[in-house]
Amino acid sequence: MSDTNKTATLTFDGKSFELPMHSPTAGPDVIDIRKLYGEAGVFTYDPGFTSTAACDSTITYIDGGKGELLHRGYPIDQLAEKSHYLEVCYLLLYGELPSAEQLEDFETRVTRHTMIHEQMINFFRGFRRDAHPMAVMVGVVGAMSAFYHDSTDVNDPWQREVASIRLIAKMPTIAAMAYKYTIGQPFVYPRNDCDYASNFLRMCFAVPAEDYEVNPILARAMDRIFTLHADHEQNASTSTVRLASSSGANPFACIAAGIACLWGPAHGGANQACLEMLREIGSPNRIPEYIERAKDKNDPFRLMGFGHRVYKNFDPRAKVMKQSADEVLDLLGIENNPTLQVAKELEAAALADPYFTEKKLFPNVDFYSGIILEAMGFPTSMFTPIFALSRTVGWVSQWKEMIADPAMKIGRPRQLYQGETMRDYVDIENR
Ligand code: CMC
């Protein structure tokens, strides 16, 4: 943390307090309030942590005003175009782009950990066939703590490393098995001769009855979806992973907590909700009705895939995703896809409407991802599991960074208590 010579002064009740300030390498300065309660006896109030930096980090930087996303300094559009998911995983985990040898070693390590303990299959069979794959993933990833005891000691850097590789490697297998289970098909085991994205597509779409050939263009599009979702600094699920692990809980339990948080429709669940919304709109002539609903304060409806807590400009991931959607649909010969048509016209209509531009609401990563995933053959229920498997590397990188930080403390927010003050218990006959 780099200190500045600047301080901030807080004055109340006739007393003043000097608060130190720190400068990041990018982004706004921060006021350090760690000693505020001890010295001034007050808390700060920030529901939703909209103005609070909860940690130091060197992994990901977002400039929401410019619509910029950097991983270890590299812009996401360059990574999406020139790199691939496992290289981005290496970058996020270790801080630098790998040499050819380092990349090969990393890919080998990930590939060798893709199988899950055979007994874990019993967990899948315990779920109802109609279970949402996210429910299955929360359960099965949490259950990894019961199978990989040799990588649950968070104080041992080697065990942390092994747990990280296991999570990145096994998540596609778990997501694909969750899918296969819900459609009643046999599980397809991972193959070491496939790259990460092709292996996932194979585990989802191959059947024992016939050969399955992965289309390299679809594998590239899948890899790009993984890359675009790999990390996004201190979002709700990442903060959940950090908070859960601040108690020293094992990494598998903490990542399961992250998956649970990601599931919500305001976060990772938005890709499923967005495609469902586009289908419900169905035709461009119904767009004005939905735009009006989104603007109506008395209607809880929001345009899914629109708006972002941090981006107040285009989400840079959405631009790449839109281009990918065109490419994939073109490749698959899907012309005049009505959902893509509605999406494009809805985007144009919203961007021409002062309600959205004045509030700086732009399409986010989820606006086009569902269209690509649907074209590839995934049901909507698999969209959020695919987000979860992509984001695992981000959660793991942030978790490793936090555990290695000597300033790490158990997370313990305060509150602005608005309840009753102390009162005496009243016996039931007197109430
Ligand atoms: N449609 C209509 N109005 C909206 C929308 C929307 N999608 N998003 C925000 N607003 C309005 C909101 O009603 C509020 O209006 P007012 O100031 O008049 O009360 C204003 O914009 C600010 O909204 P907010 O809820 O205070 O903003 P936030 O930063 O807390 O919320 C958000 C961010 C992503 C939860 C929200 O924009 C939203 O619900 N979007 C739809 C869900 C979605 O697409 N989520 C995916 C996020 S990207 C993937 C990820 O990182 O998980």
Query: Would you state the structure tokens that stand for residue 299, as one six-digit string?
Result: 């209607």
In 3-state terms the chain splits into helix, strand, coil percentages (rounded to 5) of 55, 10, 40
Interval 182-228: pLDDT, tens: 999 999 999 999 999 999 999 999 999 998 999 998 999 999 999 99
Q: How far apart are CA 371 and CA 380, in angstroms?
A: 10
Percent of the chain with pLDDT over 90: 85
Interval 23-55: pLDDT, tens: 999 999 999 999 999 999 999 999 999 999 999
- Residues within 6 Å of ligand 1 by CB: 232, 235, 266-268, 270, 294, 302-309, 359, 361, 364-366
Classify each residue of 59-91 as buried b or exposed e, where b means 16 or more C-beta atoms within 10 Å of its C-beta: bbbbbbeebbbbbbeeebbebbeebbbbbbbbb
Average pLDDT, the chain: 94
Query: Would you state the structure tokens that stand for residue 254, as one six-digit string?
Result: 């903490």
Q: Check whether 333 has a pLDDT greater than 90.
A: no
Q: How far apart are CA 419 and CA 172, in angstroms?
A: 45
Report the nearest atom of ligand 1 relative to the CA of 367: 44
Report the pLDDT value the prediction gives residue 3, as an integer from 0 to 100. 65
For the question of residue 366 being annotated catalytic, the response is yes
Interval 253-264: pLDDT, tens: 999 999 999 999
Report the pLDDT value the prediction gives residue 130, as an integer from 0 to 100. 94
Distance from residue 159's CA to the centre of ligand 1 (Å): 39
Which residue, by CA, sits nearest to atom 24 of ligand 1? 309
Give the pLDDT band of residue 293 (cuts 50, 70, 90).
Answer: very high
Query: Which one is catalytic: 46, 366, 405, 427?
Result: 366
Distance from residue 307's CA to the centre of ligand 1 (Å): 5
Geometric angle at alpha carbon 108, from 102 and 109, rounded to 5°: 90
For the question of residue 132 being annotated catalytic, the response is no
Interval 105-147: pLDDT, tens: 999 999 999 999 999 999 999 999 999 999 999 999 999 999 9
Q: How far apart are CA 349 and CA 356, in angstroms?
A: 10
Which residue, by CA, sits nearest to atom 40 of ligand 1? 307
Mean pLDDT across the stretch 289-294?
Answer: 96
Which residue, by CA, sits nearest to atom 41 of ligand 1? 304
Which residue, by CA, sits nearest to atom 11 of ligand 1? 359
